[in-house]
Amino acid sequence: MDTVPFDARDGLIWYNGELLPWRDAKLHVLSHGLHYASAVFEGERSYNGSIFKLTEHSERLAASAQMIGFELPCSVDEVDRACAEVCEANGIRDGYVRPIAWRGSEMMGVSAQNTTTQLAIAAWPWPSYFSPEARLKGIRLKTGPWKRPSPETEPVHAKAAGLYMICTLSKHTVENEGYDDALMLDWRGQVAEATGANIFMVMGDGRLHTPTPDCFLNGITRQTVIDLARERGIEVVERAIMPDEFAKATEVFLTGTAAEVTPVGEIDHYRFTPGDITKAMMEDYEKATGQTSKESAKAAASAAE
Ligand SMILES: Cc1ncc(COP(=O)(O)O)c(C=O)c1O
């Protein structure tokens, strides 16, 4: 793992239309985005030189900005081009891309009517770390202490910085107890998602069940996996799911740009064994993203070096 802090790396960061040396891509301490969380961002992955679902991510960035009351300083097309440009400029074929837009420092207070919007895009190498075999062991989750808020409390469908406060708090709590991630319930006590990924479960009926995304991000990977499952003839049910239903689940997995399709072996006192449907979804997602087994094996080998 690269332990160099993110502000002390080398490369180029796209910043308001210019490619700046990595260490010069700074913002002022009195930025509205920092004090009042008026910031939205994306997490994208490039596979073999192509950013998966790039336009969907750029569109979500623009929609997230609108949901928290500002416009991006450029069009979705321009964001697409800038993401590709920053990968190209840094020689990244397999990596992670992080666009972020925030309100600047023209005003300091709750009101931000006259602030300008800043946009930066960074990218760094991030190969698929785990071989399918290693990931099949399944990660360990524990229900976290914070709940996803109701849609009338926050703009819950935005990928906005402010919504991650409860994710970080939940993840820290369970990490301190040795778990990999937190399961987050929503304000009604229903299963919502993990702290940075959506959740699916295979019930005894052989169907794939996933919570209706009415108070959390309807992930791009989630939507992709639903399509892939349906293409295989697997029935997908989106519905309200209560946590005690994990007792009937045989397989559970997470989906997300970073997580891809990651099997879950444990949630609280429930245990699951990654099985055929999880394996099928991992394989189909790998194919959809343009990875081949040979390439991911190579990536896993070089990440381990
Ligand atoms: C809270 C949260 N839920 C779900 C997801 C999965 O979304 P996607 O599949 O679009 O990466 C993410 C990652 O962006 C996330 O941060």
In a domain, 278, yes or no: yes
Q: Is 31 in the pocket of ligand 1 (CB under 6 A)?
A: no
Total domains in the fold of the chain: 2
Residue 193: give the domain boundaries: 132-298
Per-residue pLDDT tens listing for the chain (305 residues): 568 999 999 999 999 999 999 999 999 999 999 999 999 999 999 999 999 999 999 999 999 999 999 999 999 999 999 999 999 999 999 999 999 999 999 999 999 999 999 999 999 998 665 555 567 789 999 999 999 999 999 999 999 999 999 999 999 999 999 999 999 999 999 999 999 999 999 998 889 999 999 999 999 999 999 999 999 999 999 999 999 999 999 999 999 999 999 999 999 999 999 999 999 999 999 999 998 544 444 444 343 33
Residues facing 249 on adjacent strands? 203
In a domain, 291, yes or no: yes
Helix (H, G, I), strand (E, B) or coil at 247: helix
Domain CATH code at residue 168: 3.20.10.10
175, 271: one domain: yes
Q: Backbone phi, then psi, for 36, in 5-degree steps?
A: -120, 15
- Entry pTM: 0.93
Report d(CA 51, CA 54) in Å as an integer. 5
141, 290: one domain: yes
CB-based contacts of 8-11 (< 8 A; 24+ apart in sequence): 9/124, 11/89, 11/90, 11/122, 11/123, 11/124
Place of tokens 């990999």: 180
In a domain, 2, yes or no: no
20, 110: one domain: yes
Closest to 40 in 3D by CA, of 57, 19, 23, 17: 57
83, 206: one domain: no
187, 279: one domain: yes
**Taking CA 205 as the corner, what is the angle to CA 200 and CA 207, rounded to the nearest 5 degrees?**
40
105, 137: one domain: no
In a domain, 158, yes or no: yes
Q: Whose Cα sits closest to atom 5 in ligand 1?
A: 197
Q: Whose Cα sits closest to atom 16 in ligand 1?
A: 196
Q: Is 144 in the pocket of ligand 1 (CB under 6 A)?
A: no
